Amino acid sequence: MEIPYTTTVRPDTGVYNAKLGVWLFLASEVMLFGGLFSAYIFLRVGAPEWPGMIAGHMFERSSDILNVPIGTFNTMVLIASSVTMVLSWASLMMKNFSKYKLYMGLTILFGFIFLIVKAFEYSDKFSHHFYPSESAFLAIYFTLTGLHGLHVIGGIIVNLYFWGPGSKMWKTQPKRFTNRIEIAGLYWHFVDIVWIFLFPTIYLL
Amino acid sequence: MSETTDHEHVKKHVRVYIIVFAALAALTIVTVAIAYLELSIVPAIMVALFIAIVKGSLVAGYFMHLISEKKVIISILIVAGVFLIVLFVLTISSYHDQDRSSLVP
Amino acid sequence: MTNSAEGSGDKAEHNEETPVERHAEHQEDLGFWRKYIFSTDHKVIGLQYAFTSMFFLLFGFSLMMLMRWQLAFPGEALPIIGKLFGEANMPDGVMDPQFYNQLGAMHGTIMVFLGIVPLAVGAFGNFVVPLQIGAPDMAFPKLNMASYWALFTGGIIMLVSFILPGGAAKSGWTSYTPLAVIETTGQTFWLLGMIFLITSSLLGAINFITTIIQMRAKGLTFMRLPFFVWVQFITAFLLLLAFPPLEAAGVLQLMDRLAGTSFFLPSGLVVSGEVLNVSGGGSPLLWQHLFWFLAHPEVYVLILPAMGIVAEIISNNTRKPIWGYKSMVYSLIFLGFMSFIVWAHHMFITGMGTMMSAFFQTTTMIISVPSVIILSALFISLWGGSIRFTTPMLFALGFLPMFGIGGLTGLPLGLAPTDIHLHDTYYVIGHFHYIVAPGTILALFAGVYYWFPKITGRKMSDVLGKIHFWGTIVFMNGVFMPMFIQGLAGVSRRLYDGGQLYDIAQPVLEWNVFMSVSAWLLGVAQIPFLINLFGSIKKGKKVSANPWEATTMEWTAAPSPPIPHGNFPVVPTAYRGPYEYSVPGSSSGFIPQDQEN
């Protein structure tokens, strides 16, 4: 038994199954982060000050607690990883497998850099006794960036697989493999977009 | 579409990707710079959200190819977008319409 | 996978007589695990969903039968089985109030998320949709397997929570905060379980939408889809877009419980006379918004598949096209859209201002229009038909007035002035049970009787089916009709003693015994069904591939039972709409969808 349209596109819809599937998944992810963002807005409009009192100190601006330069650096890292991701797909389209390996490797590397920087940020907060339980602001900060971080980890695992053992498929089914990189890319770009919204709303406002 | 035109096509794309990357980096710096101006909260939110939407659209439009995507996918995303706005707008306006006079201690 | 389905059926029959041999044979059969447990065949997965959800329906129903003892005879020891539940739950056979709360919360959770949704969507959707659209399988067979096992894991977590210290979740199926946050460990398990169930539904929804868009047979345009496929399509969208905000809310509540955050805990919250030591700044209303953003579309997830099943059966048994197919489809789409903007009618008494109340009242009244259109179209479909009163048709006909009662009694709840009186009374319980119990569950029974020959190649007994139908519909009304009386009198829901302590409840208190007896008899009325279901698998009358003389492709293009992988001996092509019954000039009186002319 063959499932139709796993590699080729269905003529009347113009897409293959996995592409539609991953976009549907991303639509649900939009709603997931939408729920989290609406929680953030809901709590924020209800708060007398934001970020407010944390561990006995009054904070007027988020940038007094969070490190904006580091956040900016991480934003750049994630944007760069998005570019290398799309370039890795473009390399496959141009049948250049070694370039694919390079760009995908860079994407994974940037992903790791993002996580390591994030880990330093977290431990810095913990060392100041800034825990999620301390205030609504910190609760939002840790939960939203934490869930985003989990998405980054998920993306890295997928990318690692396609960089390593999964890339064998290039030899047998190049078209299908290119499709797989495309949809892995769609997910990775989505994670990037989430961060593009998280960064200003949490760090800057 | 033949092999060679496909190739050229992608090459043209690569140039676009680099330009988009530059734009994203520039916009990131702009949004951080504006944050240091310490605007009052309403314009600050407006500007930051505007820049974020532009950046998000660039990624979605060019890296995720939404700009030339098929109708079926665009329609699904429009549906999701509408419900996202519904979630935001109705939740927040319910908050503002809430009678909280009895809750003030 | 070489056996044909008929062959394996014969083998099973043979094995029934010699269980020892069966055991030996399964050990030899290396394909067993892949074939029956971790199968990627949509039909096997559909059956896995069916058996799991039917188990949970029965389990959830038993919880309710226990509760009804306490409501009918508050404080009296439950004879014989009362002591089985342990000293903590039922000391000397008398129900502990906390145990009652567990039963209530878990009854709701299990019936909705582990009973009806997996049966209506997981089981029927999985088994029937690919067959009706002429597809060899779902678009993502492995994902399909993953969604079943996510559901299974979620179900196990929910069951395990009963044996935790402090028992299962007890803040209602709605898990309102802050109560839910300060509850015992059972609530954490509830949240974990829900995250699995939500994941299962999301994966399933992605699969259904992709399958319906991508895998339709040649010639099967959207306006030629059987109505059942349409409802599954819209239902999948509701699941896909409404569930994630609840998943977000579940994560936030988990953080509140495990990491000590205060997303849903306001500042200065007092519990048992002491100010709770939390940072505060959260909002209990936030939970309600996120919860009902899911839970209102969820109501339509429960009812839409039922409408789809009923539409198929009514058309088939009146031997007529369903009346107003297009208006039904457009109503369905509109209904799906509107279901996202009515949710706060569950929150009229949270201090909502007049502007938002007016908005949500208006949308709630508007959403009743497409529901009425669909129901009316189904009623009009009966007009002038030569109705065959088969067992599935009886259940489908039972659905129509029951859903009508459920829908009409919802109107006073959708209007703030009346809702303020009726909110959280038994009237609400009566209303939504009429939608999901005599409504959806009757339709699901109809579906079981209707598609049973498809699954097994045998028919269920009509005599037992009719006993089942009359017992079910009579006792269901016996359970739920008095709830309206109690609710209008002002009796609150979730009362451990059924309202004994309240003066307003005294005149209507005697209904409690009536309802409880009806509930237990309703349980008895399910025995013929179980006998029928399991008995007919082996002993039912063998029938042809298309015993109901239906027009849709699951009957006309595939043998009954269908071949294991690939479904169709020849890939079918659709040439016409789904309900071409009583076509003038045709010799058989109906034209299958895949017949060229």
B83 near C CB under 8 A: yes
pLDDT higher than 80, residue B104: no
Please name the residues in contact with C72: beta carbons below 8 A apart, sequence gap of 6 or more: C498, C512, C513, C515, C516, C517
d(CA A62, CA A68): 9
- How many contiguous H segments (helices) and E segments (strands) does chain C have? 23, 4
pLDDT category, C4, cuts 50, 70, 90? Answer: very low
Identify any residues that bridge with C581 across adjacent strands, giving them in sequence order: C590
d(CA C49, CA C120): 9
Classify domain C42-265+277-556 at the CATH topology level: Cytochrome C Oxidase; Chain A (1.20.210)
At C69 the pLDDT is: 95
Mutation choice for B interface testing from A64, A86, A198 by most B CBs within 10 A: A86
What is the average pLDDT across C540-549?
A: 94
Q: How many CB atoms lie within 10 A of CB C329?
A: 19
CB-CB contact of A191 with A145 (8 Å): no
Which is nearest to A39 in space by CA: C258, B80, B95?
B95
Mutation choice for A interface testing from C279, C292, C343 by most A CBs within 10 A: C279
Say which of A20, A46, A193 has its CB closest to residue B59: A193
At C278 the pLDDT is: 87
* Residues in chain A within 8 Å Cβ distance of B41: 205
What is the average pLDDT across C142-171?
A: 95
HSE-CB of C470 using CA atoms within 13 angstroms: 5
Q: Whats the size of chain B, residue-wise? A: 105
Closest chain C residue to the Cα of A31, Cα to Cα: C244
Q: Give me the percent of chain C exceeding a pLDDT of 70.
A: 95
A74 near C CB under 8 A: no
Residues 156-215 of C with CB under 8 A from A: 202, 205-207, 209-210, 213-215
pLDDT in tens, C188-223: 999 999 999 999 999 999 999 999 999 999 999 999
Element (H, E) at C255: helix C227-258
pLDDT in tens, C116-138: 999 999 999 999 999 999 999 99
What is the average pLDDT across C535-558?
A: 94
Q: State whether A28 and C202 contact (CB < 8 Å).
A: yes
* Residues in chain B within 8 Å Cβ distance of A31: 80, 83-84, 87
d(CA C362, CA C415): 8
Ranges under pLDDT 50 in chain A: none
Element (H, E) at C270: strand C270-271
C-alpha A33: how far from its chain's center? 12
Which is nearest to A154 in space by CA: A32, A17, A62?
A32
Q: Provide the residue ranges of all domains of chain B, joining segments of one domain with +.
A: 3-103
Say which of B20, B56, B79 has its CB closest to residue A193: B56
pLDDT higher than 60, residue C30: no
d(CA A31, CA C138): 24
pLDDT in tens, C326-337: 999 999 999 999
Which is nearest to B20 in space by CA: C281, C557, C269, A82?
A82
Looking at CA atoms only, how far is residue A139 from chain B in angstroms? Answer: 20
C289 near A CB under 8 A: yes
Q: Higher-confidence residue: C406 or C88?
A: C406
C503 backbone φψ class: left, alpha, beta (φ>0; ψ -120 to 50): alpha
Q: Phi then psi for B57, rounded to 5 degrees?
A: -65, -35
* Residues in chain C within 8 Å Cβ distance of B80: 241
Say which of B76, B91, B97 has its CB closest to residue C289: B91
Which is nearest to C266 in space by CA: C175, C170, C179, C357?
C179
At C86 the pLDDT is: 87
pLDDT category, C51, cuts 50, 70, 90? Answer: very high
d(CA A49, CA B2): 61
Q: Phi then psi for C542, rounded to 5 degrees?
A: -70, 140
d(CA C477, CA C481): 5
CB-CB contact of C207 with C138 (8 Å): yes
What is the average pLDDT across C227-255?
A: 96
pLDDT higher than 60, residue B94: yes
C353 near B CB under 8 A: yes
Q: Tokens for C467?
A: 């006993």
Domains and CATH numbers, chain A: 32-50+66-204 (1.20.120.80)
CB-CB contact of A27 with B77 (8 Å): yes
At C36 the pLDDT is: 83
At C18 the pLDDT is: 38
At B101 the pLDDT is: 66
pLDDT higher than 90, residue C425: yes
CB-CB contact of C294 with C245 (8 Å): yes
Q: Give me the percent of chain C exceeding a pLDDT of 90.
A: 81
Chains linked to A by 3 or more Cβ pairs within 8 Å = B, C
Judge if ipTM > 0.90: yes
Q: Regarding beta strands C270-271 and C274-275, do their DSSP bridges make them parallel or antiparallel, or are they unpaired?
A: antiparallel
Q: Tokens for C511?
A: 């209904």
d(CA C281, CA C294): 24
pLDDT higher than 90, residue C267: no
pLDDT category, B5, cuts 50, 70, 90? Answer: low
At C17 the pLDDT is: 38
pLDDT in tens, C358-378: 999 999 999 999 999 999 999
| Lowest mean pLDDT across A12-21, B79-88, C35-44, C392-401 | C35-44
| Lowest mean pLDDT across B49-53, B97-101, C317-321, C484-488 | B97-101
pLDDT higher than 80, residue C175: yes
Grouping H, G, I as helix, E, B as strand and the rest as coil, residue B34 is helix
C289 near B CB under 8 A: yes
Burial of C284-319, coded b for 16+ CB within 10 Å and e otherwise, reads bbbbbbbbbbbbbbbbbbbbbbbbbbbbbbbbbbbb
B80 near C CB under 8 A: yes
C350 near B CB under 8 A: yes
A175 near B CB under 8 A: no
At C1 the pLDDT is: 36
pLDDT category, C25, cuts 50, 70, 90? Answer: very low
What is the average pLDDT across C443-462?
A: 96
Q: Phi then psi for A53, rounded to 5 degrees?
A: -75, 125
